[in-house]
Amino acid sequence: MDSSTSWEEEISVDHGSLRPLYMQVKEALEEWITNGLHDGSLCPGDRLPSENELSEKLKISPITVKRALDDLRRQGLIHRIQGRGSFIAEQHKIVLPLTKLFSLTNLTLQQGMTPARHTLSIAEQAASPRLAKRLKIAQEDSVIKLVRVRLIDGKPFAVETTYLPSPLFPDFLAVFTDQIPLYEILAEHYHHGVVRAEDIIEPVLIRPNEARIFEIPVGSLAFLFQRLAYDALGKPVESTKSVFRGDLVNFSIEMTNDKEVNER
């Protein structure tokens, strides 16, 4: 489908705004594409207006348009074919269920994607008072700090910072490997498998360090997961902060009817 017949009514900029023009163009295109994919008026593979078309219609320079399109390309929303223009990319989003524990690796595989993980750093360090209280360990105990990047189909989509109580996981630095899922190591090697977790989720904006890892603009939408996980004895075994790219994640919540709803 050639999308050039409808975009003129949907995409505009405010030349009097203090917001940078390239950002206005990027956000307007992003909203147009996202809404179009949702209502079916656009499909992956549809061609975007050319840089010249956008430049002439919006009365801005081609350089400004190119910068906006480059941001969308880095986000994975569009792709460019030399000599032909920019096109809407296939959208590979992972769906996270919010009603049960899941393995991110298995979930990714079940949804037809290729998972990978890469450790940025791992070290043992003193626990802060807040972290010692959260993990219910003595103030003098140490914790293992593990920072990892999670990828789907080769694209970074989450940065995880995990703290584990050292008393429960001796020699963890020697045992740990990226080749085995973390929860499998906790369960099989240490017999402290995760059976319950509490997650707090909130929308946040991407910070510079995360933007560098994700290769997307600072200030892009993300979701922050703060998890506290427990073993079968009710001991806290993991405290993790995960930042997920907002453009690569969807959430699924299963709901059932009940008597109280029926009576309303």
Architecture of domain 94-252: 3-Layer(aba) Sandwich (3.40)
| pLDDT computed for residue 173 by the predictor | 97
Task: Name the DSSP letter for residue 5.
Answer: G
| pLDDT computed for residue 254 by the predictor | 79
| CATH topology for the 3-88 domain | Arc Repressor Mutant, subunit A (1.10.10)
| Domain spans, the chain | 3-88, 94-252
**Residue spans of alpha helices (H) in 7-90:** 7-10, 21-39, 51-58, 62-75
| pLDDT computed for residue 51 by the predictor | 93
| pLDDT computed for residue 2 by the predictor | 45
| pLDDT computed for residue 136 by the predictor | 96
| pLDDT computed for residue 6 by the predictor | 74
Q: How far apart are CA 87 and CA 46, in angstroms?
A: 5
| pLDDT computed for residue 258 by the predictor | 67
CA separation, residue 230 to residues 125, 170, 204 (Å): 21, 18, 26
Domains 3-88 and 94-252 share a fold: no
- φ and ψ at 37, to 5 degrees? -65, -35
Q: How far apart are CA 26 and CA 123, in angstroms?
A: 40
| pLDDT computed for residue 232 by the predictor | 97
| pLDDT computed for residue 261 by the predictor | 53
How far from the centroid of its chain's Cα atoms is residue 119's Cα?
Answer: 17
216: Cα within 13 Å, side-chain hemisphere: 24
| pLDDT computed for residue 141 by the predictor | 96
Contact in structure between 244 and 223 (CB atoms under 8 Å): yes
Instruction: Please state whether beta strands 221-230 and 196-205 pair in parallel, antiparallel, or not at all (unpaired).
Output: antiparallel
| pLDDT computed for residue 264 by the predictor | 56
Q: How far apart are CA 184 and CA 247, in angstroms?
A: 28
- Residues 6 or more apart whose CB falls under 8 angstroms from that of 40 comprise none
Contact in structure between 219 and 253 (CB atoms under 8 Å): no
Among 128, 119, 126, residue whose Cα is nearest residue 147: 119
How far from the centroid of its chain's Cα atoms is residue 150's Cα?
Answer: 9
Contact in structure between 92 and 152 (CB atoms under 8 Å): yes
| pLDDT computed for residue 4 by the predictor | 41
Encode the chain (264 residues) as per-residue pLDDT tens digits: 444 447 888 899 999 999 999 999 999 998 999 888 878 888 889 999 999 999 999 999 999 999 999 888 877 788 888 889 999 987 778 888 888 888 888 888 888 888 899 999 999 999 999 999 999 999 999 999 999 999 988 889 999 999 999 999 999 999 999 999 999 999 999 999 999 999 999 999 999 999 999 988 888 889 999 999 999 999 999 999 999 998 888 888 877 776 665 555
| pLDDT computed for residue 149 by the predictor | 97
